Amino acid sequence: MSSNITITQTKSSRLANLDFHNISFGKTFSDHMFVADYDKGQWMNPRIVPFESFLIHPSAMSLHYGQAIFEGMKASKNKDGKACLFRPEKHAHRINESARRMSMPEIPEALFLSGLRELVALDSGWIPPQEGSALYIRPFMFATDGSFGVRPSEKYTFIIFTGPVGPYYSEPVKLKAETTYVRAVPGGTGEAKAAGNYAGALLPTELAKKEGFDQVMWLDGHEFKYVQEVGTMNIFFVIDGKVVTPATDGAILKGITRATILEVLKDKGVAVEERKLDVHELIDAHKNGLLQEAWGAGTAAVISPIASITFKDYVITLPSADTFAIGNEMKDYINGLRSGRVADTHGWVEVVN
Ligand SMILES: *Cc1c(COP(=O)(O)O)cnc(C)c1O
């Protein structure tokens, strides 16, 4: 572990106030955060400090021109009570892909990983014990130059904070196939985990909710017929026994859960197809009784089952989510890897010491 990280421990831990069975989602933060600054072409002053607010220049470029990227990952406890990370190098790699797209500096993987490990080790008491719950980890980087000239910032801050989350029991969701707004187009920023992608998705999602849907299923921005993602997750279907997910085309975020599921299914000899998927093909499969499963896949919920998809006037109703043999198996498998119940034959789980 890198020893150049200075650690200032909190004098008043909030851990004793935490009730693991009653965690308010997204509003509970652990005691510490990791911070590093970038200036004059270098990362400097890596440190762990108490979780707290900080000052920011009103003209910080991230606030105006949107150089802000993030990651989402989770730490869990294995059966020996040890803190575990899942494929952390994949996240270290992906934040740098996002950084390149947004003209931000790369974070050396060793800096990302040592900051992450030290932080999770220090706040491991905040990892909820129950399988399916986790310590959510939010690494992010943003531009801090105080200047309103449009150009890439020269100064950045990289932070990792964490917060415990309870298990997700996501009810099957009703989707609106979005035919007015787009999330991303090839050549745009959809492959980057960039803050602005999320802002642009809020309005269509709010409008869909007003119409009684839970989430939006994104379609391509040219013909509004090729399936991209669901909300902020990748999307999978089982059609006549084959697993189908849209191929990454520059507009789809390359999910680590998506990649994991594809590898696990290929290992098991299950037929998987990464390709263009026309929503009319889903409608035909549904009419012929061949559409068996549909679910979202992402770090937070792992698998989020889909109840229905409405494309214009046509409603595709999925079978009951408890019949989703492959989706449920993938959720059980990934949660089992994280808790140590399933043998980690791929070397995906890293124990933090
Ligand atoms: C983060 C994200 C995902 C899921 O990625 P994971 O690495 O599996 O968590 C999918 N789509 C979008 C748009 C995302 O931002």
Q: Which tens digit of pLDDT belongs to each residue from 14-53?
A: 999 999 988 888 999 999 999 999 999 999 999 999 999 9
201, 145: one domain: no
113, 192: one domain: no
C-alpha 254 to ligand 1 mean position (Å): 7
Q: What is the pLDDT of residue 61?
A: 97
Q: What is the pLDDT of residue 168?
A: 78
Domain stops at, among 165, 198, 233: 165
Q: Choose the residue to mutate in 70, 85, 95, 233 for probing ligand 1, maximizing ligand atoms within 8 Å of C-beta.
A: 233
Task: pLDDT band for 129, please (50, 70, 90 cuts).
Answer: confident
Checking if the pLDDT of 295 tops 50, the result is: yes
- pLDDT per position as a tens digit, 90-106: 999 999 999 999 999 99
Question: Does residue 75 sit within a domain?
Answer: yes
pTM of full prediction above 0.95: yes
226, 126: one domain: no
What is the number of the ligand 1 atom nearest to the C-alpha of 73?
A: 9
129, 58: one domain: yes
Question: Does residue 353 sit within a domain?
Answer: no
C-alpha 146 to ligand 1 mean position (Å): 30
Q: What is the pLDDT of residue 307?
A: 98
Question: Does residue 326 sit within a domain?
Answer: yes
Question: Does residue 71 sit within a domain?
Answer: yes
Taking residues 127-152, report their average pLDDT: 94
Q: What is the CATH number of the domain that holds 43?
A: 3.30.470.10
- For ligand 1, atom 14, which residue shows the shortest CA distance? 232
Taking residues 296-313, report their average pLDDT: 97
76, 222: one domain: no
Q: What is the CATH number of the domain that holds 325?
A: 3.20.10.10
Domain stops at, among 165, 195, 211: 165
Question: Does residue 122 sit within a domain?
Answer: yes
What is the number of the ligand 1 atom nearest to the C-alpha of 297?
A: 8
- For ligand 1, atom 13, which residue shows the shortest CA distance? 232
Token pair 């959510």: residue: 136
112, 30: one domain: yes
Checking if the pLDDT of 1 tops 60, the result is: no
159, 34: one domain: yes
C-alpha 253 to ligand 1 mean position (Å): 6
Question: Does residue 351 sit within a domain?
Answer: no
Question: What's the chain's average pLDDT?
Answer: 96
- pLDDT per position as a tens digit, 70-87: 999 999 999 899 999 999
- pLDDT per position as a tens digit, 224-240: 999 999 999 999 999 99
Q: What is the pLDDT of residue 49?
A: 98
112, 71: one domain: yes
Please name the amino acid found at residue 255: G
Question: Does residue 1 sit within a domain?
Answer: no
Neighbours of 335 (CB within 10 A): 19
Share of the chain above pLDDT 90, in %: 94
Checking if the pLDDT of 160 tops 60, the result is: yes
Counted domains in the chain: 2
Task: pLDDT band for 3, please (50, 70, 90 cuts).
Answer: low
Task: pLDDT band for 58, please (50, 70, 90 cuts).
Answer: very high
C-alpha 298 to ligand 1 mean position (Å): 5
Checking if the pLDDT of 167 tops 80, the result is: yes
Q: What is the pLDDT of residue 41?
A: 96
Checking if the pLDDT of 2 tops 70, the result is: no
- Beta strands, E only, 166-301: 173-177, 215-219, 227-230, 233-239, 242-246, 272-275, 291-298
Q: Taking a C-beta distance cutoff of 8 angstroms, is the pair 162, 154 a contact?
A: no
Question: Does residue 344 sit within a domain?
Answer: no
Which protein residues are within 6 Å of ligand 1, measured from CB?
A: 72, 193, 229, 232-234, 253, 255-258, 298-299
Q: What is the pLDDT of residue 341?
A: 94
190, 302: one domain: yes
Q: Choose the residue to mutate in 234, 295, 330, 348 for probing ligand 1, maximizing ligand atoms within 8 Å of C-beta.
A: 234
Query: What's the angle, vertex CA 91, arms to CA 198 and CA 133, rounded to 5?
Result: 80
- pLDDT per position as a tens digit, 321-346: 999 999 999 999 999 999 999 999 99
177, 118: one domain: no
Domain stops at, among 99, 132, 165: 165
Q: Choose the residue to mutate in 232, 252, 330, 348 for probing ligand 1, maximizing ligand atoms within 8 Å of C-beta.
A: 232
Indicate the range of 28-42, 51-65, 125-139, 146-160 predicted with least confidence: 125-139
Residue 51's domain comprises 6-165
Share of the chain above pLDDT 70, in %: 99
Positive or negative: CA dihedral 173, 131, 252, 239 = negative
Please count the helices (runs of H) and the strands (runs of E) in the chain: 7, 18
What is the number of the ligand 1 atom nearest to the C-alpha of 231?
A: 13
211, 289: one domain: yes
- For ligand 1, atom 10, which residue shows the shortest CA distance? 233
189, 262: one domain: yes
